[in-house]
Chains A and B, each alone.
Chain A
């Protein structure tokens, strides 16, 4: 009678070595509908040596191969560079205008022509990136930090704090954006970007807070959070180590997409005359000035509007790509 096999005999360890994807993937094959999901998150058979791959590095791996991500990331990198150093591609001064050239078309050295004031449209379009990117990035950072902090804590602890926060967020949701902007910002006299940033943060955080709250509630119900609690882990550890890392992905996705819409919102407010004000160079202001002259000098509108659209699109595309990589189930 042969010896029954004992899987735990020393020396047989290789018998239960990870197969890379073995289990999880096979499970998915079993149900074709869940295959989709698996295609996103099942790792391949580990290569030679079987490197450790975190979900983040998996997501990065997938992002790099996504053309949408590559294109939008390159575009955004370019925008950020010219927002910081506009001189790199525009040698002129956006505020140096020559009224005699008012509304003239393109000329050597001035490919986009001149606006009503006789300022160089090319230079102004390049310099306009700075305001848009600054407002977009700062407003997103502010809204994301405030929103995820409040939403995350509310979701984690629940109770009356959660109820209060949800109602407050509802109130902010109820404020019409344009009307709110007209009322709040018309009393501001500052010519910096900060009042606009502040206003967008004020209106933007509830959206992030809702997402953060929801994903924290989902994450905290996972067994691994219970497991850590059973080990005696305190709330700080649970929140920072177990809940937050597993709840942050949707917040990142929403924030990235929001960034694009915040840039558009800044342009809208500037267009209405309550956002950024001259001498700040902004696409919104230029579009506003050009709008009335659209029949005589369409180039004045075309370039800043085009730049704005491309920027907004780039961020929204980036958000989409990030979502695909971080949360394959959402696809």
Chain B
């Protein structure tokens, strides 16, 4: 297994108490596999990724427990400089806002080249050549000329390509993409997503795709982990999840998106709001919004039930997953 997150807990100290952003998250990605982590804002999907990358702001953040195994070694137990080496060379991250992730006063070619200078000890000339090569690879037209341009001279889609080029530069085995297409227009989204998926296949990397968009996930993911209030409420291979969700939250989400091929009737809406992380409801965190909730949901935190396979290929954190599956 390339990456395995085990029982991860992350907390944030806030003025109003401790916010439990991540409460026991487990997931894994293998080489050549795409895991989509799906959730709304506040679900903990990005915080988990930041913990994996080691870019969590500490304080106010704090990793309160768990393991993050990368190729079998626990990242949380590594020394800082060792961790930094792993982070630079073996895993990379792509952010939503490419403009703020790029340095505005350096040319794109210089920023890409810097990766090779720092990590590979290449000469400036060689590293520039590699930078142009990379830009070619992410299909930026006229790469040689454009390498001398500054980030603001590129369009949103092109900037996101540069981010991808940067992430690919050192040929990492794992890429984490945090809402990589959310800020882009629909027609450009498709280009960027396709590029990312193609490169991932080509280089046989592991890809963690963090998103709130069920549509994007359906197009590229192999498996999905749905997060709610800092926990994974359902994890499943992509086809099974869409066909028959085993958690009422997933079902609600699937029903509440308007579909292109259907019109007319009122949209299904999940009632209420996501919980405040300083005061997560007891029992199942989703129970106040759940139409299926019973007494047990308000008292007992549901374990991750295995829905299919041993060891579980598919899990659900719902006491009534069978009823949910059944319809």
Residues of chain A having any CB pair with chain B under 8 Å: 2, 4-7, 12, 15-16, 19-23, 25-27, 29-33, 35-36, 38-40, 42-45
Q: Is the CB of A2 within 8 A of B291?
A: yes
A and B contact pairs by CB, cutoff 8 A, 8 listed: A5-B268, A5-B269, A15-B272, A16-B273, A25-B14, A38-B14, A43-B16, A45-B279
User: Total A-B pairs in contact (CB under 8 Å)?
Assistant: 95
Q: Is the CB of A7 within 8 A of B271?
A: yes
Known: A5-B268, A42-B14, A44-B16. A26 touches B57 (CB 8 A): no
Q: How far is the CA of A33 from the CA of B60 in the complex (A)?
A: 10
Q: Name the residue on A nearest B273 (C-beta).
A: A22
Q: Is the CB of B269 within 8 A of A29?
A: no
Which residues of the other chain, A, contact B273 by a CB distance below 8 angstroms?
16, 19, 22-23
Q: Name the residue on B nearest A41 (C-beta).
A: B15
Which residues of the other chain, B, contact A19 by a CB distance below 8 angstroms?
273, 275-276
Q: Is the CB of A45 within 8 A of B47?
A: no
Known: A30-B41, A35-B12. A25 touches B271 (CB 8 A): no
Q: Is the CB of A16 within 8 A of B272?
A: yes
Which residues of the other chain, B, contact A5 by a CB distance below 8 angstroms?
268-271, 291
Q: Name the residue on B nearest A30 (C-beta).
A: B41
Residue B69 lies at the interface, judged by CB distance under 8 Å to chain A: no
Encode B12-27 as 1/0 by CB contact (under 8 A) with A: 1011110101000000
Which residues of the other chain, A, contact B88 by a CB distance below 8 angstroms?
none
Q: Is the CB of B277 within 8 A of A33?
A: no
Residue B127 lies at the interface, judged by CB distance under 8 Å to chain A: no
A315 to chain B, nearest CB (A): 27
Q: Which one of B56, B271, B278 contacts A21 once the chains associate, using CB atoms below 8 Å?
A: B278
Which residues of the other chain, A, contact B57 by a CB distance below 8 angstroms?
32-33, 35-36
Q: Which one of B42, B44, B278, B289 contacts A45 once the chains associate, using CB atoms below 8 Å?
A: B278
B154 to chain A, nearest CB (A): 23
Q: Is the CB of A22 within 8 A of B276?
A: yes
Which residues of the other chain, B, contact A12 by a CB distance below 8 angstroms?
271
Q: Is the CB of A22 within 8 A of B61?
A: no
4 additional contacts (CB under 8 A) given A25-B278, A35-B61, A39-B15: A12-B271, A19-B275, A30-B43, A44-B16
B286 to chain A, nearest CB (A): 13
User: Please, how many residues of chain B have a CB less than 8 angstroms from a CB on the other chain?
Assistant: 35
Q: How far is the CA of A95 from the CA of B194 in the complex (A)?
A: 86
Q: Is the CB of B60 within 8 A of A35?
A: yes
Which residues of the other chain, A, contact B15 by a CB distance below 8 angstroms?
39-40, 42, 44
Q: How far is the CA of A39 from the CA of B269 in the complex (A)?
A: 31
Residue B82 lies at the interface, judged by CB distance under 8 Å to chain A: no
Which residues of the other chain, B, contact A23 by a CB distance below 8 angstroms?
42, 273-274
Q: How far is the CA of A23 from the CA of B43 in the complex (A)?
A: 11
Q: Is the CB of A29 within 8 A of B47?
A: yes
Q: Is the CB of B21 within 8 A of A45?
A: no
Known: A12-B271, A19-B273, A22-B275. A29 touches B16 (CB 8 A): no
Q: Is the CB of A32 within 8 A of B266?
A: no
Which residues of the other chain, A, contact B274 by a CB distance below 8 angstroms?
22-23, 26
Q: Name the residue on A nearest B97 (C-beta).
A: A31
A34 to chain B, nearest CB (A): 10
Which residues of the other chain, A, contact B279 by a CB distance below 8 angstroms?
45
B250 to chain A, nearest CB (A): 16
A1 to chain B, nearest CB (A): 10
Question: What 9 pairs between A and B have smallest CB-CB spacing?
Answer: A26-B42, A44-B16, A32-B57, A15-B272, A30-B41, A15-B271, A7-B271, A27-B41, A22-B276
Q: Is the CB of B47 within 8 A of A32?
A: yes
B318 to chain A, nearest CB (A): 17
Q: Name the residue on B nearest A3 (C-beta).
A: B291
Q: Is the CB of B276 within 8 A of A30?
A: no
Q: Which one of B16, B17, B50 contacts A32 once the chains associate, using CB atoms below 8 Å?
A: B50
Known: A21-B278, A26-B276. A35 touches B42 (CB 8 A): no
Q: Is the CB of B41 within 8 A of A26?
A: yes
Residue B111 lies at the interface, judged by CB distance under 8 Å to chain A: no
Which residues of the other chain, A, contact B287 by a CB distance below 8 angstroms?
none
Residue B46 lies at the interface, judged by CB distance under 8 Å to chain A: yes
B283 to chain A, nearest CB (A): 17
Known: A27-B42, A29-B44, A35-B60. A45 touches B12 (CB 8 A): no
Q: Which one of A7, A33, A39, A45 contacts B276 once the chains associate, using CB atoms below 8 Å?
A: A45
Q: Name the residue on B nearest A43 (C-beta).
A: B16
B45 to chain A, nearest CB (A): 8
B289 to chain A, nearest CB (A): 8
B178 to chain A, nearest CB (A): 9
Q: How far is the CA of A85 from the CA of B54 in the complex (A)?
A: 59
Q: Name the residue on A nearest B17 (C-beta).
A: A44
From B42, B61, B266, name the one whose CB has the most chain A CB atoms within 10 angstroms.
Answer: B42
Which residues of the other chain, A, contact B12 by a CB distance below 8 angstroms?
29, 32, 35
Q: Is the CB of B41 within 8 A of A4?
A: no
Q: Is the CB of B277 within 8 A of A26?
A: yes
A20 to chain B, nearest CB (A): 6
Q: How far is the CA of A40 from the CA of B269 in the complex (A)?
A: 32
Known: A19-B273, A30-B46. A4 touches B16 (CB 8 A): no
Which residues of the other chain, A, contact B44 by a CB distance below 8 angstroms?
29
Which residues of the other chain, A, contact B277 by a CB distance below 8 angstroms?
25-26, 29
Which residues of the other chain, A, contact B269 by a CB distance below 8 angstroms?
5-7
Q: Is the CB of B47 within 8 A of A30?
A: yes
Q: How far is the CA of A113 from the CA of B43 in the complex (A)?
A: 68
Q: How far is the CA of A45 from the CA of B17 in the complex (A)?
A: 10
